[in-house]
């Protein structure tokens, strides 16, 4: 209590402050009968502002209209007092946010009790003709007999024309990360009970996973993701996923009602905390309840002494009793907990500064659930293994964590997925994107943030374009598609059983940018050696593919380069096999994979395929990594896992070098350091040009034998020498 604080108010003896905000103070009060209450008192100068008393009166009326065992009841109020006040029952338990932060996500049975109770409370709110508008972890208290919904400070009528709204029509009201799209965009006319249901979905997802479904970070980023991005529901129990997806629908009309949710989550009312909460949370409630019983005698206003306290102190008891989670002092959904100078110690000792753990984050943007999920998941595994390896080292000045953003391989999600990572100040670098076009869509976000982006699979040429000022922070550990095709043309010229005179180039426009880059690169390689290719193009969907291939064989092609994706490569392999074509058949990165082997079957035999990956089994440097992957995941590493591992190791090495004097390095300086660095990784050696592209070849060549990809060597970096002289030696990656 401060010198200016009253010792009593309206029959309540005030024991201490629970919180304070710009609008007033929340005290812990006790009646003569021993009943505890949270007493919210508004400052006198605020009370005299126009319309304030009417707003406060609406809050009181709203709280009184809600009748539910899972909503904190109003014990008394006086909106007309010189300093308007409101008292509600005090719950000596932690907020949901406190419990999750301290003890982690709730288990399935607890989630159903939590969801059922909060849904019943919201149903009562909506039945009273109100919208809560701030359903968040801090506004749900965990009590022995179930959760309690609190704080109706910004509640309003569900009918926007039925009464004057408490805020302006252009003001966003609520807590970012736990509000609906219509709230994020301040679409006042669309805000209604369905908005609370969206927030309920966010709350339940947070309780299940320990993280908000739309991430954390800057407010504008949270708002954007709420409106445009899909929620992150990884880790939510399968039985709750359909319900949460319905709650988090962007369209308010598609969401269920709170009453319907309560019916779907109906559970027996818990008798005690032990019946519905994990043991650690039960202990927290028990400890706080015990401290409530140990409150000392009530004294008048306690004037702070100059000397530090020598005992636990009344205010410290109150803070530990969970009082900072009952009402928002300003009526706007923001809690300011009372803090003593000793950081909450109850032993009377004055500790030094709290220990600071340096823990920074490696971001991963990848397709983890879309058509390219195999590649994206492989890269995520590589990142996690590299982070674990780094953290296990001795005398590390910091540790690393991993934050993942799934773009699902959908170009329209690329920018939003990137901003999940760029808005987090603890993210020092990005591994990914795993896909060409989600990467290109993400470029504006990464260019703006200027943090390093290391991709091991996106070969789209426009990801790095200094002329256009694009991709200035991108460091590419793989070859651009056009250069990869150039090197494969050199391989064909060097390894063909007979000199090539008319190689065929087929461009399948299903992925127009990729196939065009491959045709251009291969054409340059052949023409530079004096060989004129025979190019043909088929429309998207590989329409007329078989007919065009027949025409190419009739025209006398003696090699075939497939500039397209795996589905059309399967058709090409089968067609060429039927036509009896025996020349070299070549394809690139987007054909490499099991889809081609399974689809083409025996017709795939003998095909040459290039990709920016090395088999870990042929690299002795990768032996420990392979063993670690087997121990962790039970399988050998998939393609792109080792390359992602190398990317993290390289980035972490530069962060260590830049770490000076205990200060975090400026992440915007890291791209320049990486581009100047050379690195010996488990999968090869890496070096970079000024534009962030890989020096050397970076394309490994495989041939299909017995239904498997058999590794050959690095593709050559130069055309073969004239006939009669030895062919070029293979160029190591990064040389």
Q: Hey, is 482 helix, strand or coil? A: helix
Per-residue pLDDT of 370-401, as tens digits, reads 999 999 999 999 999 999 999 998 878 889 99
Q: Burial, 286: exposed, middle or buried (Cβ in 10 Å; 0-12, 13-18, 19+)?
A: middle
Write down the pLDDT at residue 584: 97
Q: How far apart are CA 87 and CA 74, in angstroms?
A: 6
- Is residue 160 situated within a structural domain? yes
Of 162, 115, 638, 65, nearest to 372 by C-alpha is 638
Q: Helices 641-658 and 623-633 meet at what angle, rounded to 10? A: 110
Closest CA to 215 of 410, 428, 405: 405
Query: Which residues in 271-350 belong to E strands, given as ranges?
Result: none
**Quick one: 507 and 596 in the same domain?**
yes
Residue 280 lies in a domain: yes
Task: Indicate if 125 and 241 belong to the same structural domain.
Answer: yes
601, exposed or middle or buried, with CB in 10 Å at 0-12, 13-18, 19+?
middle
Domain boundary residue, one of 286, 313, 344 = 286
Distance, in Å, from the CA atom of 712 to the CA atom of 399, rounded to the nearest integer, reads 38
Mean pLDDT of all residues in 114-123: 94
Q: Which of 29-38, 205-214, 332-341 has the lowest mean pLDDT?
A: 332-341
CB burial of residue 687 (10 Å; 0-12, 13-18, 19+): middle
- Residue 185's pLDDT is 86
Mean pLDDT for the stretch of residues 165-192: 72
Q: Residue 718 phi/psi, 5° resolution?
A: -145, 155
Q: Is residue 455 part of a domain?
A: yes
Pairing of strands 130-131, 146-149: unpaired
**pLDDT at 342 > cutoff 70:** no
Helix axes 436-449, 512-528, angle to 10 degrees: 100
Residue carrying the six token digits 């805020």: 167
Average pLDDT of the chain to the nearest whole number = 83
> Looking at the domain assignment, is residue 730 inside a domain?
no
d(CA 346, CA 366): 47
Q: Has residue 296 been placed in a domain?
A: no
Kindly report the CA angle at 331 between 327 and 333, in degrees rounded to 5? 70
Secondary structure (H, E, C), 197-264: HHHHHHHHHHHHHCCCCCCCCCHHHHHHHHHHCCCCCCCCCHHHHHHHHHHCCCCHHHCCCHHHHHHH
Give the tens place of pLDDT for each residue, 505-536.
999 999 999 999 999 999 999 999 999 999 99
Instruction: Give me the CATH number covering residue 543.
Output: 3.40.50.2300
207 and 108, same domain (yes or no): yes
Report the CATH number at residue 87. 1.10.510.10
pLDDT confidence of residue 536: 94
Quick one: pLDDT band at residue 44, thresholds 50, 70, 90?
low
- Per residue in 542-597, pLDDT tens? 989 999 999 999 999 999 999 999 999 999 999 999 999 999 999 999 999 999 99
Residue 298 has pLDDT above 50, yes or no: no
Q: Is the pLDDT score of 301 beyond 80?
A: no
Residues contacting residue 25 through CB under 8 Å, at least 6 positions apart = 5, 17, 19, 40, 41, 43, 329
- Residue 161's pLDDT is 41
- Residue 239, by phi and psi: left (phi above 0), alpha (psi -120 to 50) or beta? alpha
Confidence of residue 458 (pLDDT cuts 50, 70, 90): very high
Give the model's pLDDT for residue 176.
85
Same domain (yes/no): 228, 166: yes
Element (H, E) at 513: helix 512-528
pLDDT of residue 344: 33
What would the 3-class secondary structure string for 617-680 be?
A: HHCHHHHHHHHHHHHHHCCCCCCCHHHHHHHHHHHHHHHHHHCECCECCCHHHHHHHHHHCCEE
Please give the residue range of the domain that contains residue 171. Answer: 8-286
Catalytic residues: 134
Pair 224, 416: CB distance under 8 Å: yes
Distance of CA 378 to the CA centre of its chain: 17
Q: Which of 264, 286, 308 is the last residue of a domain?
A: 286
Question: Tokens representing 462?
Answer: 């426009």
96 vs 147: CA distance, rounded Å: 9
723 belongs to a structural domain: no
At 162, the pLDDT band (50, 70, 90 cuts) reads very low
Higher local confidence (pLDDT), 727 or 6: 6
The total number of residues written for the chain in this structure: 735
Shared domain for 83 and 194, answered yes or no, is: yes
Residue 550's pLDDT is what?
97
Residues 500 and 626 both lie in one domain:
no
Query: At residue 481, does pLDDT exceed 80?
Result: yes
Lowest mean pLDDT among 182-196, 428-442, 486-500: 182-196
Do 147 and 264 share a structural domain?
A: yes
d(CA 379, CA 384): 9
Is residue 305 in some structural domain?
no
Query: Which residue has better confidence, 73 or 604?
Result: 604
Cα distances (Å, whole numbers) of residue 454 to 161, 414, 462, 474, 509: 53, 15, 15, 6, 28
Same domain, 499 and 433: no
Tens-place pLDDT, residues 179-197: 999 998 888 888 999 999 9
Query: 428 versus 219: which is more confidently predicted?
Result: 428
Task: Give the pLDDT band (50/70/90) at residue 35.
Answer: confident
**What confidence score (pLDDT) does residue 318 get?**
35
Q: Which residues contact 2 (CB under 8 A, 6 or more apart)?
A: 17, 301, 304
- Confirm if 497 and 531 have CB atoms less than 8 A apart: no
3-state secondary structure of 268: coil
Q: Would 315 be classed as within a structural domain?
A: no
What is the end-to-end Cα distance of the chain in Å, rounded? 70
Give the CA dihedral 411, 416, 422, 427, nearest 10 degrees. -80
User: Which range is least confidently modeled, 259-273, 303-317, 624-638, 670-684?
Assistant: 303-317
Hey, what are 650's tokens? 């390289």
Residues 6+ apart with CB under 8 A from 457: 375, 379, 434, 435, 478, 589, 612, 640, 643
Task: Note whether 451 and 569 are same-domain residues.
Answer: no
Task: Let me know whether 170 and 62 are in one domain.
Answer: yes
| Among 26, 715, 560, CA closest to 325 | 26
CA dihedral 33, 36, 38, 40 (to 10 degrees): 20
Instruction: Looking at the structure, tell me whether residues 70 and 133 fall in a common domain.
Output: yes
**Contact by Cβ (8 Å): 545, 572:** yes
Residue 638 is predicted with a pLDDT of 96
Provide the token pair at 626: 């392979």
Domain count along the chain: 3
Q: What is the pLDDT of residues 694-712, one digit of tens each?
A: 998 999 999 999 999 999 9
Element holding 116 (H helix, E strand): helix 108-127
In terms of domains, do 588 and 503 share one?
A: yes
Cα angle vertex 286, ends 281, 287, to 5°? Answer: 100
Question: What is the pLDDT averaged over residues 350-379?
Answer: 79
pLDDT for 327 equals 34
Instruction: State whether residue 692 is helix, strand or coil.
Output: coil
Classify residue 170 by burial, with Cβ atoms within 10 Å: 0-12, 13-18, 19+: exposed
What angle is formed at CA 632 by the lines to CA 240 and CA 400, rounded to 5 degrees?
80
C-alpha to C-alpha distances, 664 to 426, 436, 655, nearest whole angstrom = 9, 31, 9
Residue-wise pLDDT tens digits, 61-76? 877 888 888 988 888 8
Of 10, 26, 7, whose CA–CA distance to 18 is shortest? 26
**Does the structure show a pLDDT above 60 at 91?**
yes
Contact 106, 100 (CB under 8 A): yes
């Amino acid at each position: 209590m401060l010198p200016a604080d009253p010792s009593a108010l309206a029959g309540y003896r005030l024991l201490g402050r629970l919180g304070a905000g710009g609008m007033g103070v929340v005290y812990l009060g006790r009646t003569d009968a021993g009943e505890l209450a949270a007493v919210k008192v508004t400052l006198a100068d605020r009370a005299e502002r126009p319309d304030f008393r009417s707003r406060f009166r609406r809050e009181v009326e709203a709280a009184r209209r809600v009748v539910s065992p899972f909503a904190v009841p109003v014990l008394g109020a006086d909106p007309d007092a010189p300093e308007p006040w409101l008292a509600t029952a005090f719950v000596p338990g932690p907020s949901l946010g406190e419990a999750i932060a301290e003890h982690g996500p709730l288990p399935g049975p607890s989630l159903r009790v939590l969801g059922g109770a909060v849904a019943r409370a919201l149903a009562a709110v909506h039945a009273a003709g109100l919208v809560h508008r701030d359903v968040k972890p801090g506004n749900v208290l965990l009590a022995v007999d179930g959760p309690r919904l609190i704080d109706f400070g910004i509640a309003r009528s569900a009918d926007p024309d039925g009464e004057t709204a408490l805020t302006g029509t252009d003001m966003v009201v609520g807590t970012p990360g736990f509000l609906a799209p219509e709230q994020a965009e301040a679409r006042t006319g669309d805000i209604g009970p369905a908005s609370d249901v969206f927030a309920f979905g966010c709350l339940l997802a947070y309780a299940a996973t320990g993280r908000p479904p739309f991430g954390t970070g800057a407010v504008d980023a949270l708002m954007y993701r709420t409106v445009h991005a899909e929620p992150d529901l990884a880790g939510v129990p399968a039985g709750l996923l359909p319900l949460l997806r319905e709650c988090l629908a962007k369209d308010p009309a598609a969401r269920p009602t709170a009453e319907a949710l309560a019916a779907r989550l109906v559970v027996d009312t818990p008798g005690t905390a032990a019946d519905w909460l994990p043991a650690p949370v039960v202990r927290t409630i028990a400890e706080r309840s015990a401290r409530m019983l140990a409150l000392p005698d009530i004294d008048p206003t306690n004037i702070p002494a100059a000397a530090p306290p020598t005992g636990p102190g009344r205010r410290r008891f109150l803070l530990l009793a969970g009082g900072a989670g009952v009402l928002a002092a300003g009526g706007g959904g923001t809690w300011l907990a009372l803090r003593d100078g000793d950081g909450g110690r109850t032993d009377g000792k004055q500790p030094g500064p709290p220990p600071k753990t340096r823990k920074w984050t490696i971001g991963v943007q990848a397709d983890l659930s879309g058509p390219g999920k195999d590649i994206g998941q492989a890269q995520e595994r590589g990142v996690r293994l590299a982070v674990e390896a780094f953290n296990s080292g001795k005398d590390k000045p910091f540790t690393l964590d991993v934050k993942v953003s799934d773009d699902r391989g959908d170009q329209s999600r690329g920018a939003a997925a990137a901003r999940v990572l760029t808005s987090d100040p603890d993210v020092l670098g990005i591994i990914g994107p795993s896909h060409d076009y989600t990467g290109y869509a993400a470029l504006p976000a990464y260019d703006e943030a200027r943090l390093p982006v290391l991709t091991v699979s996106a070969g789209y040429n426009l990801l790095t374009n200094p002329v256009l000022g694009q991709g200035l922070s991108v460091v590419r550990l793989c070859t651009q598609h056009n250069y990869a095709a150039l090197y494969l043309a050199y391989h064909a010229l060097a390894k063909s059983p007979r000199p090539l005179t008319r190689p065929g180039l087929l461009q399948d426009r299903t992925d127009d940018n990729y196939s065009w880059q491959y045709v251009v690169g291969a054409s340059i390689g052949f023409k530079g050696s004096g060989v004129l290719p025979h190019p043909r193009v088929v429309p998207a969907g590989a329409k007329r593919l078989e007919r065009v291939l027949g025409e190419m064989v009739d025209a006398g092609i003696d090699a075939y380069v497939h500039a397209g994706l795996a589905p059309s490569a399967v058709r090409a392999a089968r067609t060429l096999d039927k036509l009896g074509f025996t020349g070299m058949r070549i394809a690139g990165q987007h054909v490499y994979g099991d889809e081609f082997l399974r689809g083409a079957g025996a017709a795939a035999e003998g095909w040459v395929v290039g990709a920016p990956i090395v088999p870990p089994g042929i690299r002795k440097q990768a032996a420990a990594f392979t063993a670690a992957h087997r121990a962790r995941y039970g399988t050998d590493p998939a393609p792109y896992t080792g390359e992602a591992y190398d990317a993290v190791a390289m980035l972490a090495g530069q962060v260590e070098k830049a770490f000076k004097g205990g200060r975090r390095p400026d992440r915007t300086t890291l791209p320049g350091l990486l581009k100047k660095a050379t690195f010996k990784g488990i999968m090869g050696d890496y070096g970079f040009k000024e534009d962030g592209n890989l020096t050397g070849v970076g394309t490994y060549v495989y041939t299909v034998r017995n239904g498997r990809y058999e590794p050959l060597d690095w593709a050559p970096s130069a055309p073969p020498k004239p006939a009669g002289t030895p062919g070029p030696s293979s160029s190591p990656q990064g040389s």
